[in-house]
Amino acid sequence: MGVALLFAVGLAFTNLSSQVLWQDEAQSALLGRTTLANGVPLGTDGQNSLSQELGAEFDETYRWRWHPWLHFYLVAGSFGLFGESTSSARWPGALFGVLTVFAVYRLAREWWDDRLVARGATLTLLLFVPFWVLARQSRYYSLTACLTACVLIGYARLANGRSGGRVGYAASLVALFHAHYVYAPPLVAACLLHALVWRRAAVRPLLIASGVALAVCAPWIAWQSGMEYGRHYGGQLSSPSLWLANGEWFVRSLLAWLSGLAGILALLGVGLARRFQEGKAGLTEAARDPGVASVVLAGAAILGAVAVVAPGPFFRYLAPLVPLVALGFGGLVAVAGRLHWLAGVAVLAGVGALQPLGAFGYELTHDFDGPVEGIVEYLSAHAEPDDVVWITYGDLPLKFYTPLRVLGGLTGDDLQVALEREAPDWVIVRDRVVHEDRDGQVAQFLANELDWSDFQKVQLPYTDTAFENREDPAEHRFRPARGGVPVTIFRRKHR
């Protein structure tokens, strides 16, 4: 286990500052900054809005309530200890990525007390490149993955009558709620259903522990209920056809990005081998195993909940499922390895062969030059501290890395009022619109209302991709883009 954790540290922490924070990460970093300064995360730094939802994320006093606060306190703590930087903004995510490896190992031992299963799951998680891309983000993704495993460890101990189960389950559930509230209710439901079928004696203590966690979280739930999520995504919440479409996309993504083909082939191979071996238990016995049922029910519950509430089909919402998929592969490695050690190695080799390990290795050892980095560097060198920047998308990294006043993006800033008060010194129109009703409206206003003869065009030697480098496996770039439309900045001629 020690060697696995060392590898995990390398995968999580190596070269964390090689690329600047992209839009969503910069929001977390900015909220970490306001948390450190004010004690609570605020949706403004006193100069700029930190919104990406037209201001719906905070209350009338700017206290943030779109997300729970645990992640922001972790980032604030990192800033307090190590100072503000790209890497320190990402250290909490990287740390919980490493801790997830340990949690997966412990969860396997709690249910099966089988080193081969635990080691197979651990090695699989180390091979899952999409998980490490998520863990290296300044976001809550690895935090939810780790705490999901911790909730299930606590439940396993509770269900099996071991000490510390109730406290571990309740404490992990509270922490998971404050990492992201979406994952807590389906986990409670999955654990309760499991207890009713497989561990009837655990139902009462489970209900008590869940009730304690609910009581602790109740004040936040009451305050959180004022958040206007439905105003933006109400159509998603009331559309079964969208739930099904999301669910299908999530299942296909898990299969595509977490070596699903290797899992299917391994399952078929092990099933056939056992069928022709006298005296060997079939896979149907494994399907009835309480530990397997716990993991499957938890995964299904989370998948169903995310399919209903997710604002879009993004792989990042599946982060808590990644450790559970790794546990499934751990079981396959163990069963195959007991047939022949080479068969266990073949399962792991199949997982690795379907992962972009070489590309990820390149990312860990090279710098990444993206469009936002080019913009930040240029403005840092040429803008005055009191300059005003208008931008269609990518405003939040500028707010983190520079002292400038930045308008536009997805904030819902009233540009007409801003124009009447003070014309922009810099204007940046990105090559791609991300949200037609937000940065699309900003681009339209800029095209129609500005006198472009007042501005000088500057082209930067960076390709203007839509995102600096987002975490989704389908869009993540292991190398910077080359060629294509260059980043363009417009500078006011007479300032």
Helix crossing, 321-339 with 115-127: angle to 10°? Answer: 130
Based on the fold, state whether residues 294 and 436 are members of the same structural domain: no
Look at residue 282 and tell me whether its pLDDT is greater than 60: no
Do residues 251 and 138 share a domain? Answer: yes
Greatest mean pLDDT among 84-93, 251-260, 436-445 lies in: 84-93
Domain boundary among 318, 344, 364: 364
Per the CB < 8 A criterion, the answer to whether 149 and 104 are in contact is yes
Residue 277 lies in a domain: yes
Average pLDDT over the chain, rounded to an integer: 91
Residues 344, 449 share a domain: no
Q: How far apart are CA 299 and CA 295, in angstroms?
A: 6
Placement of tokens 């100069």 in the chain: 47
Structural domain ending residue among the three candidates 321, 346, 364: 364
352 near 333, Cβ under 8 Å? no
Q: 167-198: per-residue pLDDT in tens?
A: 999 999 999 999 999 999 999 999 999 999 99
Report which DSSP code applies to 491.
E
pLDDT band at 135 (very low <50, low <70, confident <90, very high): very high
Looking at the structure, do residues 347 and 425 belong to the same domain, yes or no? no
182/283 same-domain check: yes
Judge whether 116 and 337 are in contact, CB under 8 Å.
yes
For residue 470, give the nearest of 367, 322, 368, 400 by alpha carbon.
Answer: 368
Overall size of the chain counted in residues: 495
User: Which residue has 């975490």 as its token pair?
Assistant: 471
Which range has the worst mean pLDDT, 137-146, 244-253, 261-270? Answer: 261-270
The secondary structure of residue 446, as a DSSP letter, is H
Tokens of 6: 């060392």
Number of domains in the chain: 2
pLDDT band with cut points at 50, 70 and 90 for residue 288: confident
Digit-coded pLDDT (tens) for 370-399: 999 999 999 999 999 999 999 999 999 999
Q: List the domain range (segments joined by +) for residue 215.
A: 2-17+85-364
User: E-assigned strands of 385-429?
Assistant: 388-391, 405-408, 426-428
